[in-house]
Structure 1
């Protein structure tokens, strides 16, 4: 087969354009039901230094660490240029990856937000989660969403330059993104190769009730990272509240959720959160009130539960 010089150049250019996005693709989806790629949310290990965080993540069987780079996090934003390289190096030295960070980033107009992204790019971080947006006082909800849509669009442009993927987490409550339609709206104009959602099934079920399946169907093309945790409704001081519980002990229908993900043929990387009582570790405290083994055992138990549920779905 003879290929003209013009055809060769065109095909080569096309291949090159695809290569720049190869780092952003999910692992090949396999019907063999390989395990999920699960990182531990470092919020729950902020009583440890960088080195020990990486070592414990490896010992417990996690593939990586979702590092907090935000106020009161493992890495403070104002120290990101010097501390993020130290943190990533120490974590990777333990044999696990550090390809995602959780931040308070909101805008390209904020110099510190830009500095965090530039530092993350240098350390070959792949994903970051932004802050949650608040509805603006004196501005309609529709106009607020349009304002944030523009902020995300601008972040997407910067992400493209820095080879990053931004994520907005759906979160129960009254901030932007409690409804999956809000998330869809603010993602409308951004390049989905460089900005999507960090899909949280716990919050989706709290807010979505029976309609969470519709929300997943709406957002799955935008999912870049998943947060995994569980909850159940309970009465506290006479009022119903969503109570966080270990994986498999709550109301999240992981069997149906994982089956749907397999149906959609997506297997994004996971950040595992433990928001139930762990002596302050669940809140990101640097001082904890329980033995460290209690926390490590809970993390390993939840990790094993998630992998088992995924393999069985």
Structure 2
């Protein structure tokens, strides 16, 4: 892509941010990217902004009033794993120029014997990145699930040991779906038993927990407290037998606002990652606007009385 096209796209993204800021009440503009108590640093997942240059990304995120991102350093990400040693320092430097940091690094890592695991994690830890999101484990439903969990335990323990050695924390996101390990969260609790959350914790995704658990999400939220390392927020609703993603606070959305009251009452004080998943085919400008609008909703939910 030409530098002219990138510059035009960057200007359009900045214009979208600026237009949105002008439309917001001054009370909201003055708010930092935390709730009123300052407990929760907020970042946003940049999957649909990753075609921006590093500097454009930093400028865009800072324009939204955010201090952090969930970066994509993975297969099909903004940075490929094999290029992390060279490119990740450049991304960190570009973000820092705009007062932005990588709060979570979305990765393709879920075991120590992958080709780039140690190099990526050593590079990230050396740059001060505190946590990375693991890739998912998948069940083979033609085999006993319990046996597969037993086979995964030493894999997870080996990865936890590497994290301890390097001084970086992994987080595993619960993800709704037929074959995902952790979709129901009870299996994830078993898998991580005995592993300190400082080595491998859970990124509790309320959208996925609500899709899989229906009205029982308070049970899995309770269950995950000893493992809790991050919180992911987004929303969806059922359209017949299919799930349709949409904005946080969506009418008839599956995410109960009561979740945020429980979050405020909890002891958790880690990062919240805002995910905007419903504009996969949207432009950069449309996704920037969606992040801005969802961020307003998130801040309102986090300013409820606990």
TM-score bucket of the superposed structures, by smaller chain: 0.7 to 0.9
> Matches of 2:266 and 2:125 in 1, distance apart?
30
* CA contact 2:181–2:188 (8 Å) conserved in 1: yes
Match of 1:299 in 2: 291
Secondary structure of the corresponding residue to residue 65 of structure 1: strand
Match of 2:67 in 1: 63
Q: 2:167 aligns with which of 163, 167, 173?
A: 163
Match of 1:117 in 2: 121
> Matches of 2:35 and 2:49 in 1, distance apart?
34
Match of 2:12 in 1: none
Q: 1:200 aligns with which of 174, 198, 205?
A: 205
Match of 2:219 in 1: 214
Match of 1:247 in 2: 248
> Matches of 1:35 and 1:242 in 2, distance apart?
32
Secondary structure of the corresponding residue to residue 111 of structure 1: coil
Normalised to the residue count of structure 2, the TM-score between the two structures is 0.83
* CA contact 2:174–2:203 (8 Å) conserved in 1: yes
Q: Which runs of 5+ in 1 are unaligned?
A: 1-29, 282-289
Which stretches of structure 1, 4 residues or more, deviate above 6 A after TM superposition? Answer: none
Instruction: Kindly report which structure 2 residues correspond to 1:93-108, keeping only aligned pairs within 5 A, or say none.
Output: 93-108=97-112
Bigger mean CA offset, 202-211 vs 176-185: 176-185
Change (3 A) 1:89 1:31: closer
Instruction: Give CA-to-partner distance per residue, 1:186-229, whole Å, 9 cap, x none.
Output: 11132222111011000000000011100000002211011110
> Matches of 1:108 and 1:249 in 2, distance apart?
40
* CA contact 1:92–1:98 (8 Å) conserved in 2: no
Normalised to the residue count of structure 1, the TM-score between the two structures is 0.82
Instruction: Kindly report which structure 2 residues correspond to 1:143-292, keeping only aligned pairs within 5 A, or say none.
Output: 143-174=147-178, 175-235=180-240, 240-250=241-251, 251-277=253-279, 280-281=281-282, 290=283, 292=284
Report the count of equivalent residues.
270
- Deviation, 1:116, is 1.1
Give the CA RMSD over aligned residues. 1.9
